[in-house]
């Protein structure tokens, strides 16, 4: 891969990280159940994507049955991720939920090994260990939250497993589908799955106020459209293992935003943990830049 394409992929991923880091903030501002905000997030985003495809001059590509099936599967995985994450955010700290839900790199590495029978090398596992130790440090720094919100923590961890499946599915689809079409298909599938789940569990989809509606639109346009457009673009040029590890930087950003907006206290251990996350990301980025995409570093 050329240095220019690599730089563009990292730049897109940086924009995506910053955009997605606002997810927990917008979810709090919606003031509606987590499943409901998750539904509107992907529903509004899918509407915008289909309108863009309908009125754009570009010709819609043909989508094979297998591509459509994998896109729906990816959308279902993402529905599980965002739905469980939104539930966790409403029952624990924004920073803590984000850290636990971003354990996806561990599951991406294990799933990649299970699927390809090729275990990622130390260039992935050592930075991952450093970054996850930082994530654990941040969450463990608030023992009150860890001990009193076990179900919220479990929901966040389950969200990370669903997100790992989503990343691997999306990485595979990037070979046969462009970014906008793939996002339109997957977000539509996510909206359908969340709508059915909300109906079965009798979760209200009522939007209580104008401020809630604005927060939902922000969640869809900033976190979903901008964030995941950049992420999907990056997955075309970077492996899912590397991308998922870099996404761990979402958690320190979310904690910082929560500190500024919700006055969620940041302790010295949490700052140290954030530093470890950034160190792990820096190591894996340097290791990947020095190896080709087909090397064992992935």
Q: How many CB atoms lie within 10 A of CB 116?
A: 10
In a domain, 297, yes or no: no
State the pTM of this model: 0.78
Show the domain range for 71.
3-289
Closest to 207 (Cα-Cα) out of 15, 11, 44, 4: 44
pLDDT at 247: 80
In a domain, 82, yes or no: yes
One digit per residue, the tens of pLDDT, for the chain of length 298 reads 567 778 888 899 999 999 999 998 999 899 999 999 999 999 999 999 999 988 886 666 677 888 888 899 999 999 998 998 888 877 766 666 666 666 666 666 666 666 665 666 667 778 878 877 876 776 666 544 444 466 777 787 788 889 888 888 887 787 678 888 889 999 999 999 999 999 999 999 999 999 999 999 999 999 999 998 998 888 878 877 778 778 878 877 887 888 888 776 667 777 787 788 878 877 877 666 654 433 333 3
Per-position b or e across 134-172, b if 16+ CB within 10 A of its CB: bbebbbebbeebeeebeebbebbebbbbbbbbbbbbbbb
In a domain, 127, yes or no: yes
In a domain, 124, yes or no: yes
In a domain, 39, yes or no: yes
In a domain, 298, yes or no: no
Q: Which two tokens stand for residue 20?
A: 């997605």
With helix as H, strand as E and coil as C, how does the chain read? CCHHHHHHHHHHHHHHHHHHCCHHHHHHHHCCCHHHHHHHHHHHHHHHHHHHHHHCCCCCCCCCHHHHHHHHHHHHHHHHHHHHHHHHHCCCCHHHHHHHHCCHHHHHHHHHHHHHCCCCCHHHHHHHHHHHHHHHHHHHCCHHHHHHCHHHHHHHHHHHHHHHHHHHHHHHHCCCCCHHHHHHHHHHHHHHHHHHHHHHHCCCCCCCCHHHHHHHHHHHHHHHHHHHHHHHHHHCCCCHHHHHHHHHHHHHHHHHHHHHHHCCCCCHHHHHHHHHHHHHHHHHHHHHHCCCCCCCCC
Burial class (CB in 10 A: 0-12, 13-18, 19+), 236: middle
For the chain, the domain total comes to 1
In a domain, 40, yes or no: yes
């Amino acid at each position: 891969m050329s240095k220019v394409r690599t730089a563009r992929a990292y730049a897109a991923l940086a924009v995506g990280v910053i955009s997605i880091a606002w997810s927990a903030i917008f979810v709090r501002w919606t003031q509606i159940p987590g499943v409901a905000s998750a539904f509107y997030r992907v529903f509004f985003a899918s509407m915008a994507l289909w309108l863009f495809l309908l009125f754009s001059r570009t010709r819609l590509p043909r989508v094979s049955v297998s591509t459509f099936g994998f896109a729906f599967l990816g959308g279902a995985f993402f529905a599980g991720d965002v739905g469980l994450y939104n539930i966790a955010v409403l029952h624990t700290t924004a920073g803590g939920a984000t850290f636990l839900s971003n354990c996806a790199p561990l599951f991406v590495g294990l799933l990649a090994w299970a699927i390809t029978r090729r275990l990622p090398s130390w260039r992935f596992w050592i930075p991952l260990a450093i970054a996850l130790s930082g994530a654990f440090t941040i969450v463990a720094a608030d023992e009150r939250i860890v001990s009193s919100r076990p179900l919220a923590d479990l929901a966040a961890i389950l969200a990370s497993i669903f997100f790992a499946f989503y990343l691997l599915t999306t990485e595979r689809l990037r070979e046969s589908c462009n970014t906008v079409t793939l996002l339109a298909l997957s977000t539509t599938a996510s909206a359908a799955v969340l709508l059915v789940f909300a109906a079965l569990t009798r979760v209200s989809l009522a939007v209580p106020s104008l401020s809630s509606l604005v927060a939902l639109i922000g969640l869809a346009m900033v976190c979903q459209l901008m964030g995941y457009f950049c992420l999907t673009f990056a997955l075309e040029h970077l492996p899912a293992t590397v991308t998922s590890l870099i996404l761990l930087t979402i958690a320190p950003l979310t904690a910082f935003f929560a500190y500024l907006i919700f006055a969620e206290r940041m302790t010295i251990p949490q700052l140290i943990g954030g530093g470890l996350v950034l160190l792990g990301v820096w190591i894996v980025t340097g290791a990947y830049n020095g190896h080709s995409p087909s090397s064992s570093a992935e």
